[in-house]
A = this chain, B = another copy of it.
Amino acid sequence: MGLYQLSKAGKLCVPAMNVNDSVTKQKFDNLYCCRESILDGLKRTTDVMFGGKQVVVCGYGEVGKGCCAALKALGAIVYITEIDPICALQACMDGFRVVKLNEVIRQVDVVITCTGNKNVVTREHLDRMKNSCIVCNMGHSNTEIDVTSLRTPELTWERVRSQVDHVIWPDGKRVVLLAEGRLLNLSCSTVPTFVLSITATTQALALIELYNAPEGRYKQDVYLLPKKMDEYVASLHLPSFDAHLTELTDDQAKYLGLNKNGPFKPNYYR
């Protein structure tokens, strides 16, 4: 985000690669990794059983999609909130009810934010949650849950173990807040080495490309990683799955108008 704003303001003094939005990095860091770390983060902190739990996930981007797929698979009943109609429609097609947070806040057992937005969970929502409701954040920053609003005299905080606070209302109701609203996947879970490898490879290749590029290929702007490099990162990680790629014949490459070594998709393909 910051890079694009710098660029727009004409303040970017070197070419930059938006590594984060390369397909491979994006899918691994967000979709595939979060599909596992949401379970891991919740289990390690709360030992909650997923089966039968009602969960609301705020945001159905890649992170939200990953969280929802895992929770649904383990028997949770998942609701989605969204601002973007395209993501909302995807949530419908994947079998989730799209609701406003207020509609379900009294009944859910777990609230998970993955929006990149701020104050998605407000004090008003927190006031209405039921006893023992778990609240955590899988999004981009620590702004999604309005944790500041919980630091008021009438509420008592009780640290029950590392990264787990009980916030206690005057009537005895407890809300279980994880990692004080910071990122659950970084605070309470681990990142598999495989994901780190994808990320590090993508970043290294981007730097190599910028360094080696002939003068003039890149201006003082933000670029997406060239598709071919994105494909290269992926291909380097296939052998660990014993995956065998098919090669185009000359005839097929000609038919498709592609180089046999890629890139295989237009740049906008995800």
By a beta-carbon cutoff of 8 Å, the part of chain A in contact with chain B is 1, 5, 21, 23-24, 27-28, 32-33, 35-36, 39-40, 43-44, 47-52, 54, 69-70, 72-77, 81-86, 88-101, 103, 107, 116-120, 143, 190, 192-195, 224, 230-232, 234-235, 237-238, 240-249, 251-252, 255-257, 262, 264-265, 267-270
* Sample of 8 further A-B pairs with CB below 8 A, known A51-B94, A73-B74, A117-B252: A24-B89, A39-B40, A77-B95, A85-B231, A85-B234, A85-B235, A107-B242, A119-B249
Shortest CB–CB separation between residue A42 and chain B, in angstroms? 10
Shortest CB distance A145–B (Å): 14
Contact check, A86 vs B238: say whether CB atoms are below 8 A apart.
Answer: no
A52: chain B residues at CB < 8 Å are 92-93, 95, 240-241
Partner of A21, one of B28, B49, B268: B268
A24 nearest in chain B by CB position: B86
| CB within 8 Å for A98 and B244 given contacts A70-B73, A268-B21 | yes
Give chain B residues whose Cβ lies under 8 Å from the Cβ of A51. Answer: 32, 35-36, 92-95
List 19 interface pairs A-B (beta carbons < 8 Å), by A numbering.
A1-B257, A5-B257, A23-B86, A35-B74, A44-B44, A52-B95, A73-B73, A74-B95, A82-B245, A83-B264, A85-B235, A89-B234, A92-B243, A97-B242, A98-B241, A116-B256, A120-B252, A268-B270, A270-B270
